[in-house]
Amino acid sequence: MVRMDYTMGERATVLRAELRRLVAEHVPDDYLGAFTDDPADLAVAQEFCRLLADRGLLCIAWPEEFGGGGGSAWEQTVVREEMWAHHEPRGAQYMGVNWVGPTIMRHGTPDQQRLHLPSIARGEVIWCQGFSEPEAGSDLASLRTAARPDGDGWRISGQKIWTSYATMAQWCFLLARTATGAKKQDGLTIFLVPMSTPGIEVRPIRSLMGPHHLNEVFFDDVRVEPTDVLGTVGDGWRVVQEVLSFERVGIARYARCERLLLAAPGVLGDQWDGLPPELRARWSRMLVHCRRARLLAYRVVALQNDGQVTPGDAAAYRIAVTRLDQDSAEVLMEIAGAASLTGPDGVRFRREVEDHWRYAQASTVASGSIEIQRMLLSRALLAAS
């Protein structure tokens, strides 16, 4: 049984206030994320990451020996919530902070830890994730990118797709097949690959989400060294399952939904009372769903903290929060469309709502489709029955 009376404590309250102050002082009012056509937005994110790192806040829950702040998982949760609520001014760094770094802590060699962890903790390096392929998206274990032995190292050939941040990343957390086993999950290996390695080509995929998010990455006989293998050769699937459970709770989508929903009455002013009662009722239901998603997230954080999280736990949260993301986006778009939004606050609110709607369209596909999450949850419930 998991307790549900989550108390973050006074330190979390102080931390939340500090993060909001830093955002207000160092992030422009019109900032809607790092991945736009304006290079200044990415520069804002990189500078803000260094600011957080200098204050020990970027990797607040990491052990101090790895460059972190030695804080609690709940303090890290506060950072997640405030960053996502304010359009993720860490940019792409959340990937390294939330799961690449912790995975290297658990499975990396001392040399890999010394090479990678300090630069992540300082906000100096961007990682991308080489998982999905054209024929292996939700069915990740069917991937075809292959690594064949080459002396004491490997040669990797294949294609990845939907690879966020690949145009700007210095490193790729890559999953490739090194052998064929009795099950398709067998024989998979993780490689930590520099994106500057000869034979890697990145082709951007334009989308509603902006120019830096989605890419194809081609590996043409790419040479990697034995020191680039993370963990044990052939044991990559076990590590990936752990990775995905962390990734799927690493984005606090409910925090942005809640902030925008709560802002709506104040921005609309007198126009709020003129909205259709049915629309205001849906707005109320969305706030209830925000609280539900938050509690599910806290439950998974508590389980992770105790080393008990399962794929089913992460899947339940993902289903709730991605549905919330899309449903709240539809309600907010209707609210914004039904009102005359003028002045700086009104214009900004409309832009934020439109940005939220664009990102929400992919939320039930990213990090494993909602159909796969339902399968994982169903298996967990059947196993427990």
Distant-in-sequence, close-in-space partners of 4: CB < 8 Å, separation ≥ 6: 295, 299
C-alpha span between 28 and 32 (Å, rounded): 9
**Spatial distance between the Cα atoms of 149 and 271, rounded to a whole number of angstroms:** 67
Residues in contact with 383: Cβ distance below 8 Å, sequence separation at least 6, in sequence order: none
Q: Of residues 247, 330, 352, 354, which has the active-site annotation?
A: 247
| Secondary structure of residue 79 in the 3-state scheme | helix
Per DSSP, helices labelled H in the chain are 10-26, 39-54, 73-85, 93-95, 101-107, 110-121, 236-247, 253-268, 277-305, 311-338, 343-360, 370-384
Alpha-carbon Rg for the chain, nearest whole angstrom, is 21
247 is catalytic: yes
Give the residue among 278, 275, 255 at the shortest CA–CA distance from 265. 275
* Residue 149 DSSP code: E
Return the active site residues: 247
